[in-house]
Amino acid sequence: MANDLPLQGKTVLVTRNKRQAAPFRKKVEALGGTAVSASLIAFQEALPDECADSLREDLSEPGWLVFTSVNGVRFFFSYLDRHGLALSGRKKIAAVGEKTARALKERGARTDAMPDEYVAECLADTLKRYASAAEPISVIKGNLSRDVIKAELEPLGYQIREWVLYNTIQDEKGMDELRRAASRSHFDFITFTSSSAVHTFMHAVGDGEKAWENSGASYISIGPLTEKALLEYGISSHVPDTYTIEGMLDVMCSMSGKD
């Protein structure tokens, strides 16, 4: 019965990028909840066309390609398609987590290494185990991605090259949607899947988040970095054991007392 669904009667604010929000929203609704979307960040291509020859040369050499996000996979293969480039079989591939590995698989690429915990520090540790210092490592990333892999591995003698494939920017239309939603909706859960979304959210609502917190809204972070971003504003949040959307849903269901 509908009343037995774990998120029945709960309203969840989904702040993911518009392209990625739909699956999250559908899962909330399948669990009986009401999902309100406000896309706070957007992504745009960042690697100039004149870098195509350099990337082609990189791809032709043995070594590792490291993907730190699903967005990195999407923009990487989009760039390859646009410039007639191909992923060389000489490259080994590391992915930060299962969603990134799945996106790679959809493009016909096999993941050779993946950490148990889906954060950059654990990805760096995984590369220490799987890659030798003689193997060059190319990191596919966004402009706001942290430099953990480079900082961890270069002092150990690894050769690290970073390719910034996409920029993260504020979604101005989404920020307007958030302000409208804030004026008419009560939220039981406010969810964040990135630090950049947290900062954009705070910029958009100002002190409004305190009213939501005081009204009983709970903040859900996908992982420790997002949790840390919220703590910068004095806001505590709940973090799942597994840093995925599914993990966030499990937390919300558990907190609703109907899991």
**What residue type is assigned to position 35 of the chain?**
A
Residue 55 reports pLDDT greater than 70: yes
| Domain 2-40+171-256 listed as CATH 3.40.50.10090 | yes
Residues 172-188 have a mean pLDDT of 83
Rounded Cα distance between 250 and 45, Å, is 33
Q: Which CATH number fits domain 44-169: 1.20.1080.10, 3.90.220.20, 3.40.50.10090, 1.10.760.10?
A: 3.40.50.10090
Predicted local confidence at residue 2, as pLDDT: 55
Q: What pLDDT shows up at residue 109?
A: 96
Domain boundaries, the chain: 2-40+171-256, 44-169
Q: For residue 173, count other CB atoms closer than 10 A to its CB.
A: 12
> Would you say the CATH fold of 44-169 matches that of 2-40+171-256?
yes
By three-state DSSP, how is residue 165 classified? strand
Spatial contact of 168 and 45, defined as CB atoms under 8 Å apart: no
The answer to whether residues 152 and 124 touch, using CB atoms and an 8 Å cutoff, is yes
pLDDT exceeds cutoff 60 at 259: no
What is the number of other CB atoms lying within 10 angstroms of the CB of residue 85?
A: 18
Pick the residue with more confidence: 1 or 152? 152
pLDDT recorded at residue 208: 58
Average pLDDT score over residue span 29-40: 93
Residue 118 has pLDDT above 90, yes or no: no
Q: Is the pLDDT of residue 215 over 90?
A: no
pLDDT at residue 173, as a whole number:
87
Residue 55 and residue 80: Cα distance in Å, rounded?
Answer: 9
> Residues with Cβ < 8 Å from 116, sequence gap 6 or more?
122
Task: Identify the pLDDT of residue 186.
Answer: 84
Question: Poorest-confidence range of 56-60, 121-125, 179-183, 253-257?
Answer: 179-183
Rounded average pLDDT over 12-35 = 92
For residues 175 and 72, the model is more confident at: 72
Tell me the whole-structure pTM to 2 decimals. Answer: 0.81
Strands of the 160-170 sheet, one edge to the other: 41-45, 160-170, 137-142, 63-67, 91-95
Provide the pLDDT for residue 211: 59
Write down the H helix ranges in the chain.
Answer: 18-30, 52-59, 70-83, 98-106, 120-130, 148-153, 172-184, 195-205, 208-214, 224-231, 245-256
Q: Look at residue 91 in the predicted model and tell me its pLDDT.
A: 96
Does residue 222 sit in helix, strand or coil?
coil
Q: What is the mean pLDDT of residues 115-135?
A: 94
